[in-house]
Structure 1
Amino acid sequence: MTDSVIQSQIKVTGDCPRVQKWMRFLIWKITIATLLLMAVGSATRVMNAGLACPDWPLCYGQLVPSQQMNLQVFLEWFHRLDASLIGLSTLVLVGLSWWFRKELPKWLPWASVSALGLIVFQGVLGGLTVTQLLRFDIVTAHLGTALLFLGTLIVIAVCLIPYQGTTNAKKLSWGATIAVTLVYLQCLLGALVGSRWAVHQCFGGSQLCAVMNSHIIGVFPATVATLSVVFIAWRTSALHPWLRKLAWVTGGIVALQILLGVATFRLHLQVEPLTVAHHTCGAALFGTLVALTTLAIRDVRSSSLPCGANAQKLEVRSQN
């Protein structure tokens, strides 16, 4: 087989990484937009703007409520606009993953459909938060679904990264799985505290102190589990650099999150940007742990040479 034929065949099989690269780029864009959407959603709740648009899906019966526009209306309207764009982007992701399904991993089209199902369900919950006048259980489920959607996107994106592990991350994979589960539950408790305004009511002597205290107590197991991940990564020899860096980033985020939480509590939630930062940092911590967990599990299995493996096998075969 001549060199020109070999190179042409390698180029053909190399088309898969190119498609995969663009798909991964799109998924990361949607992921970042989702995190920003959660920050805007937090600002909407903190600024008491959840019912600034009294109807749904329009706002005052209009696509753009120009006459009624103020800060609260803008936050709620922009939150819906951003959510709609993310929904459309996810629909594009589904279409592209099925169109190029022969050049992509077989699981990707189905994973993208799962992400679409979550964002559709998220939209339904978003509508119910308005029509049901911010009922606390619906608001909590709204955030919980948003986190699941964010996590799903991160898992898909990380699984599309070409990666060859060291098979040394077994303990790290277990520790990260426990940590991400506890952080997710802690985020749900935080959503419950926010949706019931438990901190404000507890300061006023309400019985909802139990709700707030459960969130405070939940800080300890989630923090210990996360810091254990950092410790395991530090103690594991020959660990892949990506895993080690993600572990250090996770440790930094959890430290920042604790500081933001203490400051928010001591200031009685009177500084809105601080509260929004606390909520957003929690989502970022969850997302980072999801990425770390997914990559650690891939490291344990250590058999990943997606798409590009065909070209490498072809080169080896041609040399023989």
Structure 2
Amino acid sequence: MDDLKIAKLSFIGALFTLVVISLGAWVRLTDAGLGCPDWPGCYGLLTTPDTADELAKAKENYPDTDIDVGKAWREMLHRYMAGILGLYVFFITFISVKYSKKNYTLPVLLSVLIVIQAIMGMLTVTMLVKPTIVTTHLFFGMLTATLLFINAINYSGISVSPKRIPFFALVLISATWLFLIAQILLGGWTSTNYASLACTDFPKCLDQWYPKEIVFDGAFDLIGLPDVNYEGGVLAYGAKVAIHYSHRITALILTVIYILAVYTVLKLKEHIILKKLMGVSTIFFILQIILGISNVVYSLPLNIAVWHTMNAAILMAFISSAFYYCLISFYKIK
């Protein structure tokens, strides 16, 4: 097993992770996060309740719950696919440690992340889709795709230019990465708090540049309330407006920084890999803006909302890889 095969397997893993992320978004956006009220089973059964006997048993186990078989299937499909992904990542870690002479810190970290994701998946159910948990679960899913993508780059034998990257380029890429992470977390927070349509017009919000309805009090409470079912959202409307508006403002700041970063990188005479990463990321960045606006203008259609989530994961993978390249180049890590 040579390094190039590990690189290919890692890239396939990154693509498969995008599928799992999309399934998770589909589950969340169709309010199926509690389609199975227990974990790892479903209504006390190993699989979804389908037959009359299974439905009767499920109702006996959870008498106060309305059983929706469609939601249960969506939730269990996501779990099955996530389980397959976990085994796949463990396999990549195994072959990286056993057959490669490269540093295997990243593959091992990926396996640790998979274990954490399994725990977060359980907490998503047991803590009744609490926004803090669901947002973290989503972010770690995107981080899994990102690290698999970076692992693919590492094992593909791509070399970093011997010339150190200019400091101002490092600063701009770092700022882009930090604001992108903040924006992704805000996006997750917007979705999990059902604030995606708190503003129904664009570019204004409620026909105002700064809506008077906005209330920041309680909008970013990470602790939340105990034993509360968050499905459908529990925040007051003003708090939802604050979350949505913050997501827009951060997007605007990120766009300005990103444009400066791309312009700076493309002017570099060397660092071809970095230029390619940032160049390709531009396609996904523009697409993300279009998808975000479309979510508002067309009242959050399911296909666009899922695509918006998946595209954010792709963007995170490319920008994080560019950031990783800059760190290696500037600090001569390798």
Aligned position for 1:190? 187
Aligned position for 1:52? 35
**Is 1:129 aligned to residue 124 of structure 2?**
yes
Answer whether contact 2:42 2:49 (CA < 8 A) is retained: no
**Is 1:169 aligned to residue 200 of structure 2?**
no
Q: Secondary structure at 1:133's aligned position in 2?
A: coil
Q: Secondary structure at 2:32's aligned position in 1?
A: coil
Answer whether contact 1:168 1:238 (CA < 8 A) is retained: no
TM-score by length of structure 2 reads 0.77
- One-letter code aligned to 2:277: L
Determine which of 260, 278, 288 is the counterpart of 1:257: 288
> Mean alpha-carbon deviation: is it higher for 136-145 or for 150-159?
150-159
Paired positions, count = 281
Aligned position for 2:8? 25
Aligned position for 1:309? none
- Structure having the larger proportion of residues in helix: 1
Percent identity, aligned pairs only, is 25
Answer whether contact 1:158 1:295 (CA < 8 A) is retained: no
Q: How big is the shift at 1:60?
A: 3.2
Point out the structure with max Rg over C-alpha: 1
Determine which of 135, 148, 154 is the counterpart of 1:153: 148
Answer whether contact 2:147 2:317 (CA < 8 A) is retained: no
Aligned-partner Cα distance in 2 for 1:40–1:53: 15
Aligned position for 1:267? 298
Q: Secondary structure at 1:198's aligned position in 2?
A: coil
Aligned-partner Cα distance in 2 for 1:286–1:40: 18
Aligned-partner Cα distance in 2 for 1:26–1:53: 32
**Is 1:245 aligned to residue 240 of structure 2?**
no
Q: What aligned pairs does 1:17-96 form with structure 2 within 5 A after superposition?
A: 19-65=2-48, 67=50, 70-96=69-95
Q: What are the ranges of 5 or more consecutive residues in structure 1 without an aligned counterpart?
A: 1-17, 305-320
**Is 1:225 aligned to residue 208 of structure 2?**
no
Aligned position for 2:97? 98
**Is 1:281 aligned to residue 293 of structure 2?**
no
Q: Secondary structure at 1:207's aligned position in 2?
A: helix
After superposition, the Cα gap between the structure-2 partners of 1:238 and 1:111, relative to the gap in structure 1 and judged at 3 Å, is: closer
Alignment root-mean-square deviation, CA: 2.4
After superposition, the Cα gap between the structure-2 partners of 1:87 and 1:164, relative to the gap in structure 1 and judged at 3 Å, is: closer
Aligned-partner Cα distance in 2 for 1:173–1:250: 17
Q: How big is the shift at 1:303?
A: 8.9
Q: How big is the shift at 1:291?
A: 2.0
